[in-house]
Structure 1
Amino acid sequence: MEPFIVSARKYRPQTFKDVVGQEAITNTLLNAIENDHLAQALLFCGPRGVGKTTCARILAKQINQDGTQREDEDFAFNIFELDAASNNSVDDIRNLIDQVRIPPQVGKYKVYIIDEVHMLSQSAFNAFLKTLEEPPKHAIFILATTEKHKIIPTILSRCQIFDFKRITVKDAAEYLKYIAEQQDIEAEEGALHIIAQKADGAMRDALSIFDRVVSFSGKQLSRKAVTENLNVLDYDTYFSATDLILENNIPELLLLFNKTLSLGYDGHHFISGLATHFRDLLVCQHPDTISLLEVSDDVKNQYHDQAKKADKRFLLKTLDLANDCDLKYKASKNQRLLVELTLMKMASITFDGEKKKRDFIIPASHFVKIDAPNTQAHPPKQETQETIPQLESVAASEEMLQEEQLETIQEPPPNYQPKKKIEIKNPVKRVSGLSLSSIKAKKEHENVKAPNLSKEELPTEPFSEEEMQQHWNDFTQMLNDKGRKILASNFQTDVPKLKNVNTIWIELPNATMKKEVELEQSLMLDYLKQKLNNYSISLQITVNEETAKKFAFTPAEKYQKLKEKNPAIELLRKEFDLDF
C-alpha cells in the first residue's frame, strides 16, 4: 500500500486572498495596484518561509491583469527571477540591466524579482544602483531578503520597504486545519499546534512538515504520532517533570529524565523545552498575558491548572537555573550530569520552605525508605476450642522450668570477688595544628620534655681541644652514616680549634659553605654540649678565600706538588718530552 501523501505545493497561496498572516501587506499592495501608485522598487524583508517570494510572484501576475485579458492568457514571460545567492557578480547584474531596457511585448510591466539580494557583492550593488535610481517606466524591481541590515543604505533609500512578520501559531494551525478538512484527514488540534510551533512562523515549513507527518501517519493524525515523527517532546513529559519538581521527588525526576534520554532525545532539548514550559506557566499567572500562550485549548487548561500550584518566585528561580544550564551545556564535558544537577536544584527550591543557598540539594538520606516491621506478614491464628488447652499446657510447662532453674542456682562462695569492669577512657581530644590552642599545647610539651633552666644552673665543665675534636669527628661520622654526606663534608673542611674557653673556631673557603654550616650548626652544638657537659659552647665561622686553593688545583699546580714530593718526575718529563 502506497503512503498517503498530501501535496503541500497545492495549498500554497495562488492569490493575495490565500496569503496567510500578511493581510496588511497584501491590502497595501492591492490598493497601490488599483490606484496605480505602485513604486518601481520594492523590498520584501522578513524571516524565511513567511511568503516573500510567493507574494512577489503573485504581485507580478496581478499588476498586468487589467480585466481585458483572456482567461488562458499568461504573463509569465514578463516575470524574471534572479537568485542573488548564486548570481552575485557584476556580470550577472550587467546582463540584468541589458534586459531591463527592452519593453514588454504583452502587458504593461516587466517584473524583476531578485531573491536573497543581500548576497550581492559590493561591486554588484554599485552596478545595480544607477538602474535602480532611474528605472524605465515599464520595469518594477522586487527585492527579497532575510537580512535587511546587510543591504547598503543607498539601495534601501530608493525602495519601498515591506516588513513581513512571522505567521502566528494560531493562523498556521487554522490553515493546516483547513487543509486537513479538504483532504478528509482527522487531525487533533494539539497535533496541528505542534506542527505550527515546529515551523517557527514559516508557513512553507508548516506545509512541508504536515506533508511529511501525514505520509507516515495516514488520515489519523494524533498528537502522539506528530511528536514521534518530529522528535518533539510531548507536553505531558514537561507537565510530569514540573509536578515532580513541585513535590521535591528527585529520584522519580531523574528516572523521568533517563527515560527521556533512552527515547533518543537530547539533554539540551529537554532542558530548553522545560525552560519554555516554565515560561508558559509564568505567562498563565496573569489573565492579561494568557493570550501569549500559543497552544491548543485543552493544553491551555492544563497550563492554567498547573500554574495555580507554582508561585512566581519558584518559576523565576527555575527559569534562572534552566537558562544557566542552557548556556553551559555546550561547554560542559559531562552534559548529562549538568542537566541532572540542574533538575535536583530545581526540585530542592521548595523543600521545607526555608531560606537556603542557591545550590542547595536535598540530601539522599531524605529519600531512604525505612522498612517498618511487617506485622501483617504472619497474621495471628484464630483461637479455637482445640488450641486453648494446648496453650494452657505450654504455659504450665514453662512455669515448671522456671522453678527448676531457680532451684539449681548456687549461692556464690564466701571468698568470691566479682571481676572488675573494664573502664574505657574517652580519647583525649586532639588539638588542631592551625589553632591558637596548638601553640599553648606545644609550649607545655616542651616544658615537660625539657624544663626551662636559667643559664647559671646549666653545667659548664671545662674540656680540652682534643676531646672537642674527637667528638666533632664522631658527629661528622654519624652524619655520614645517615646519608648526609654533604653536611659531613662541610664540617670536615677544616680542623676545629679552641679559640678561648668556650668558643670553637673553624675557617671555611667560601661564603656558600659558611651559610650551609650556619643553618645546621645547632645539630653539632647540641651534640657537643651534651657530650662535653658544657652548655656555654659557641661556634665561630670565618671565611678565608686562600684556603680554597687546597681544594681546587690547576694542572700546573698539581704538577708542582708532585715534583716537590718526587723530583725524578721532572727528569721523566724531559726524557719523553711530555706536557704537564
Structure 2
Amino acid sequence: MEQFIVSARKYRPKHFKDVVGQQAITNTLENAIKNNHLAQALLFTGPRGVGKTSCARILAKRINQQDAENAEEEDFAFNIFELDAASNNSVDDIRSLTDQVRIPPQTGKYKVYIIDEVHMLSQAAFNAFLKTLEEPPAHAIFILATTEKHKIIPTILSRCQIFDFKRIGVLDAKNYLKTISEKENITAEDDALHIIAQKADGAMRDALSIFDRVVSFSGKNLTREAVTENLNVLDYDTYFGMTDLLLANKIPEVLNAFNVVLGKGFEGHHFINGLASHFRDLLVAKDKVTLELLEVGDNAKKKYLMQATAASIPFLMQAIQKANDCDLNYRASKNQRLLVELSLMQIASITFDGEKKKSANYIIPATFFQSLSPTKKKITKILVSKTETVKTAVTAVVEKPKPALERPILKNLGRLAKEPSKYSLKGFNKQKDTKKTTVQENFDNHPKDAFTEKKLQDLWKSYVELLNKKGERSIASIIGTDIPTLGADFQISFTVPNKLMQDQFKKGRPKLMNFLREKLNNYGIAIVVLLNEAVEKKFAYTPDEKYKKLKEKNPLLEKLRQAFELDL
C-alpha cells in the first residue's frame, strides 16, 4: 500500500512561481538574485502557513544555482543549514552556529542559514548573534523566519532586510485548491472550495489540511453540503433563510429557526457573528463599487445580489448595529440565548409598521402573532358574536359536556374572543372603522363631468404639495411614489411597491377621493391600489446620484458646473 503524503508536504512550492499570493515578495527576491543585489540578512515575517519557510528554502537553493553551470543537476543541500529556534534557543546553540559560519562552502558560492521561529531565541542568544549578523563572512547569508516580529529585539531588526508576508486571499486559495483537485482527479464544487478557503483564514497550509480532511470524509466528490457538515460551519443558506424571515417580520419562525441552529450544536455567539457578517455582505452587494469586497463564489454572489434588493440600507445599518451590540454583550450575559433571541426579535421588528414612530428596541407585540389550534380557532370564530350566541356556539362545537375543571378555560377563551373595550385605543379605532364602513354614500344623482388624465395628474401633484404644507409628509411621500393612470368608467389606477404602503394609502384614500371629486366635479371616480413589488423607488444616497437627479430636473445645472469648473 502506497504511503499517504499530506497535501501540505506533497505540494510544498519548489519554485518561486509556485508560491501562492506573495507575488511582490517572490519577484523582489528573484530580481535581487539576478542583479546580485541580495542582502546578507533577511527576515521573513507574517502569519502561519503563508510561505515563509518555503520561500526561504527556495531562495537558499536559487542563490547557488545562479552561478552554477549545471544548476539543476548540482546538489547544494550541504550548503543549507536549518535551525529550529524553538528547540535550539540557548547561547550555546548560537555559539555553535557562529563557529560553523567561519568555514567557507566546499561547493557553490554561499552557505545559507535558515533560522525558523527566530523569536523563540532567548535574550542572551540574541545578543550573542548580534555581531555575526552585523558583519557576517562574504560567503554566509542568514534567513530568519518568524510569526511574531514584535518579540524580536530592535537591534536584530535593524540588521535585517524585512519582508512582510500577507495573508493569502480567499480567491487565491480557492484557485490553488481547484488546481490540486484537478491533479488529484477530485470533482469539487466551487462553493465547497470557497468555504474551505474561508475556513483557512489566509493560511495555505491550513487550507490544504482541511482539504485532505474533507476528501477523506466525502471521497472524490466534494459538495458544499459535505464540506459544511464536516467542518461544522453554518451554511450561508441558513443566513439567507433567516434574513428572509427577519425582513418578513415573522418572529415565531425566526425563533424556531434559531432553535434549529442551536440544536445542531452551534453556539449563539457564532451564529450572531455570522449573521452580522451576512448583513455586511448584503450592504456591500448594494453598490457596484463595493461589489469586489464580496468574497464569495459566483452562485452565492447571485443570491446576495437578489436579497440585497429586498433589504433597504436603513434596515441593514440598524440590523448590523443590533447584532454588534449582541456580540459585545454576549460574554457578560447571564442568559446568552435570551440575549440573542431579543436581538433577533428587535431586528425582525425594524421594518414592521414603518410609518409609526417607535423606540430603538421596539419588538412587535406577541398578540400580533397569536395563533390557536384548529379546534380553538373554530370556537373563537363562533364566539365573536354576542354572549348569548357564545353559549350556544360552545355547546355546538364541544361534543360532550366539559368537567368542572375545564369550564374556566372556555370562559377565558370566550373573554379573549370578545370585542375590545370601547375605552381602549384598539376599541376606539375599531368603533371608528365600523362607523366608516357602515356609512355608505350614494352618488347616483351627483355630477360626473369628464376630465383628462393630464388634469388628474396635475391635481394629484397639487394634493401632494397640500399634504406637505400641512405637515403630513408620510402619506404625501406614499401618494407621490407613482403617477396615476385613468381607465374606463373614471377608474384611477395607482401602483405601490409594497404591502405596507398599500395599507397606508388605503387609510388616506377617502380624503384624496373627496379632494378629487370636488376639483373634477365628478363623483363617479374610483381609485384602485395595485401592488407591484418589482417596482423600486430610486433614492439618491451618494453625491453623484444626488447630482444626477438634480440634473434631470434642470439640465442647465451641468452648464453651470462646466462654466465654473466645479467638482461634484
TM-score normalised by L of structure 2: 0.64
Q: Does 1:136 align with 2:137?
A: yes
Contact 2:60 2:112 in 1 (8 A): yes
User: Aligned with 1:210: secondary structure?
Assistant: helix
User: Aligned with 1:88: secondary structure?
Assistant: coil
Deviation at 1:71, TM superposition (A): 4.2
The residue type paired with residue 365 of structure 2 is P
Q: Which residue in 1 is equivalent to 2:417? A: none
Q: Does 1:49 align with 2:34?
A: no
Contact 2:197 2:207 in 1 (8 A): yes
The residue type paired with residue 53 of structure 1 is T
Q: Which residue in 2 is equivalent to 1:368? A: 370
Contact 1:8 1:211 in 2 (8 A): no
Deviation at 1:123, TM superposition (A): 1.9
Q: Distance in 1 between matches of 2:74 and 2:127?
A: 37
Q: Distance in 1 between matches of 2:39 and 2:5?
A: 41
Q: Which residue in 2 is equivalent to 1:198? A: 199
User: Aligned with 1:64: secondary structure?
Assistant: helix
The residue type paired with residue 229 of structure 2 is E
Contact 2:68 2:108 in 1 (8 A): no
| Structure-to-structure mapping, 1:248-327, within 5 angstroms | 248-327=249-328
Q: Distance in 1 between matches of 2:86 and 2:38?
A: 27
Contact 1:47 1:146 in 2 (8 A): yes
User: Aligned with 1:308: secondary structure?
Assistant: helix
Q: Distance in 2 between matches of 1:375 and 1:47?
A: 65
Q: Distance in 2 between matches of 1:180 and 1:245?
A: 38
Q: Does 1:357 align with 2:359?
A: yes
Number of residue-to-residue matches in the alignment: 377
C-alpha spacing 1:197/1:69, structure 2 compared with 1 (3 Å): same
| Structure-to-structure mapping, 1:128-527, within 5 angstroms | 128-353=129-354, 354-369=356-371, 373=378
Residue by residue over 1:232-276, the C-alpha shift from the partner in whole angstroms, topping out at 9 and shown as x without a partner, is: 110100000111111111111111111111112121111111111
The residue type paired with residue 360 of structure 2 is R
TM-score normalised by L of structure 1: 0.62
The more displaced of 331-340 and 161-170 is: 331-340
Contact 2:6 2:209 in 1 (8 A): no
Q: Does 1:27 align with 2:12?
A: no
Residue by residue over 1:312-348, the C-alpha shift from the partner in whole angstroms, topping out at 9 and shown as x without a partner, is: 2211111111112112222222221121111111111
| Structure-to-structure mapping, 1:70-149, within 5 angstroms | 71-149=72-150
Contact 1:195 1:210 in 2 (8 A): yes
The residue type paired with residue 312 of structure 1 is I
Contact 1:213 1:226 in 2 (8 A): yes
Q: Distance in 1 between matches of 2:124 and 2:227?
A: 48
Q: Distance in 2 between matches of 1:3 and 1:299?
A: 38
C-alpha spacing 1:344/1:118, structure 2 compared with 1 (3 Å): same
Structure number with bigger Rg = 1
Q: Does 1:39 align with 2:39?
A: yes
C-alpha spacing 1:232/1:138, structure 2 compared with 1 (3 Å): same
User: Aligned with 1:42: secondary structure?
Assistant: strand
Deviation at 1:73, TM superposition (A): 3.0
Q: Distance in 1 between matches of 2:278 and 2:256?
A: 19
Q: Distance in 2 between matches of 1:182 and 1:192?
A: 15
Q: Does 1:58 align with 2:58?
A: yes
Q: Distance in 2 between matches of 1:266 and 1:221?
A: 26
Contact 1:4 1:215 in 2 (8 A): no
Q: Distance in 1 between matches of 2:61 and 2:4?
A: 33
C-alpha spacing 1:67/1:94, structure 2 compared with 1 (3 Å): closer
Residue by residue over 1:262-306, the C-alpha shift from the partner in whole angstroms, topping out at 9 and shown as x without a partner, is: 112121111111111111111112111110111101100100111
C-alpha spacing 1:363/1:374, structure 2 compared with 1 (3 Å): closer
Contact 1:6 1:214 in 2 (8 A): no
The more displaced of 12-21 and 90-99 is: 90-99
Deviation at 1:369, TM superposition (A): 2.5
C-alpha spacing 1:6/1:133, structure 2 compared with 1 (3 Å): closer
Q: Which residue in 1 is equivalent to 2:385? A: none
Deviation at 1:97, TM superposition (A): 1.1
Q: Which residue in 2 is equivalent to 1:570? A: none
Deviation at 1:200, TM superposition (A): 0.7
Q: Distance in 2 between matches of 1:254 and 1:262?
A: 12
Residue by residue over 1:426-469, the C-alpha shift from the partner in whole angstroms, topping out at 9 and shown as x without a partner, is: xxxxxxxxxxxxxxxxxxxxxxxxxxxxxxxxxxxxxxxxxxxx
Q: Distance in 2 between matches of 1:223 and 1:73?
A: 46
C-alpha spacing 1:178/1:101, structure 2 compared with 1 (3 Å): same
Deviation at 1:121, TM superposition (A): 2.1
Q: Distance in 2 between matches of 1:146 and 1:19?
A: 18
The residue type paired with residue 63 of structure 1 is I
Residue by residue over 1:31-89, the C-alpha shift from the partner in whole angstroms, topping out at 9 and shown as x without a partner, is: 11111111000111111111001100111111111342364432122111122223222
C-alpha spacing 1:101/1:67, structure 2 compared with 1 (3 Å): closer
C-alpha spacing 1:2/1:14, structure 2 compared with 1 (3 Å): closer
Q: Distance in 1 between matches of 2:325 and 2:60?
A: 49
Contact 1:3 1:215 in 2 (8 A): no
C-alpha spacing 1:327/1:3, structure 2 compared with 1 (3 Å): farther
Deviation at 1:7, TM superposition (A): 3.6
Q: Which residue in 2 is equivalent to 1:536? A: none
User: Aligned with 2:346: secondary structure?
Assistant: helix
Contact 2:81 2:114 in 1 (8 A): yes
Q: Distance in 2 between matches of 1:89 and 1:355?
A: 69
Deviation at 1:5, TM superposition (A): 8.3
User: Aligned with 2:64: secondary structure?
Assistant: coil
Contact 1:45 1:162 in 2 (8 A): yes
C-alpha spacing 1:61/1:70, structure 2 compared with 1 (3 Å): closer
Residue by residue over 1:521-558, the C-alpha shift from the partner in whole angstroms, topping out at 9 and shown as x without a partner, is: xxxxxxxxxxxxxxxxxxxxxxxxxxxxxxxxxxxxxx
Q: Distance in 1 between matches of 2:133 and 2:335?
A: 55
Q: Distance in 1 between matches of 2:162 and 2:202?
A: 20
C-alpha spacing 1:244/1:61, structure 2 compared with 1 (3 Å): same
User: Aligned with 1:287: secondary structure?
Assistant: coil
User: Aligned with 1:232: secondary structure?
Assistant: coil
Deviation at 1:24, TM superposition (A): 1.2
User: Aligned with 1:201: secondary structure?
Assistant: coil
The more displaced of 73-82 and 192-201 is: 73-82
User: Aligned with 2:82: secondary structure?
Assistant: strand
User: Aligned with 2:360: secondary structure?
Assistant: coil
Contact 1:49 1:205 in 2 (8 A): yes
The more displaced of 71-80 and 43-52 is: 71-80
Contact 2:86 2:117 in 1 (8 A): yes
Q: Distance in 2 between matches of 1:122 and 1:9?
A: 33
C-alpha spacing 1:236/1:323, structure 2 compared with 1 (3 Å): same
